[in-house]
Amino acid sequence: MADAQQAARAQPSTADREIVISRSIDAPRELVFEAFTEVRHLSHWWGPEGFTTTTRSFEFRLDGVWDFVMHGPDGTDYPEWITWTEIVAPERIALLHGESRDDPNAFTTVLTFEPDGATTRIVMRTVFPTRQLRDDAVAKYHAIEGGRQTLSSLAAYVSELLRRGAQR
């Protein structure tokens, strides 16, 4: 067995209940970080095209809260509640994300911002408390997404597999 290969894998403790998404943005790190820190910025980009947000309260600081409603393109409203558990400008933001205060299904997200030349790499690691809670939360996001056609590379790959499987 290739031990080195094994060691390079994600930690087994969270690998089956986490999702890691990364993205490069063509802007300096300070500017990208800033877009996460003020509601006047967040309201411009939170959620895919067609989504809007209404903020009830917003305080970007340790233990501060963003209490808001997300409006889907089909008119459905989703209550959202975020509290920041770590803020290290302009490098790192950790938060707890649920539907309301004391939501037992809340999940943790850690965002890191790394400079890469003139661009910034965002890595977003979301860890769900249990596999079941992950499935529940993600089912919600799947519902929110509806029939959106913009497939990520992994989703596109799996779609291709499904198509190939169906042809057999």
Partner 1 sequence: MARAATTSDAFNAIAEPQRRDILALLRGGEWPVTDLAQQLGMSAPRASKHLRVLREVGLVRVRGVGKQRLYGLDARGLRPIHEWVGGFEQFWAGSFDRLDSYVQDLKQTRQGE
Token output for 74? 């089909």
Minimum distance of partner 1 from residue 32's CB (angstroms): 6
Handedness of CA 143, 146, 152, 155 (dihedral sign): positive
Q: Which is nearer to partner 1, 65 or 144 (CB)?
A: 144
DSSP-assigned beta bridge partners for residue 18: 127
Q: Which is nearer to partner 1, 21 or 62 (CB)?
A: 21
- Interface residue with partner 1, options 4, 11, 26, 74 (CB under 8 A): 26
Token output for 168? 């057999």
Site for partner 1 contains 4 (CB under 8 A) = no
- Tell me if 137 sits within 8 A of 30, measured CB to CB: no
Token output for 11? 């930690």
Could you give the CA distance from residue 36 to residue 60 in angstroms, rounded to a whole number?
Answer: 9
Minimum distance of partner 1 from residue 120's CB (angstroms): 9
Site for partner 1 contains 63 (CB under 8 A) = no
Strands (E) in the chain, as ranges, are 18-25, 52-58, 65-71, 77-88, 92-98, 107-116, 119-127
Site for partner 1 contains 9 (CB under 8 A) = yes
Backbone phi, psi, residue 50, to 5°: 95, -10
Site for partner 1 contains 158 (CB under 8 A) = yes
Q: Which is nearer to partner 1, 82 or 137 (CB)?
A: 137
Q: Could you give the string, one character per residue 105-134, with x where binding to partner 1 holds by CB under 8 A and - elsewhere?
A: -----------------x-x-x---xx--x
Token output for 10? 């994600």
In the complex, the residues that contact partner 1 under the rule CB under 8 A are 1-2, 6, 9, 12, 15-16, 19, 21, 23, 25-28, 31-32, 34-35, 41, 44-49, 51, 122, 124, 126, 130-131, 134-135, 137-139, 141-145, 148, 150-152, 154-155, 158-159, 161-166
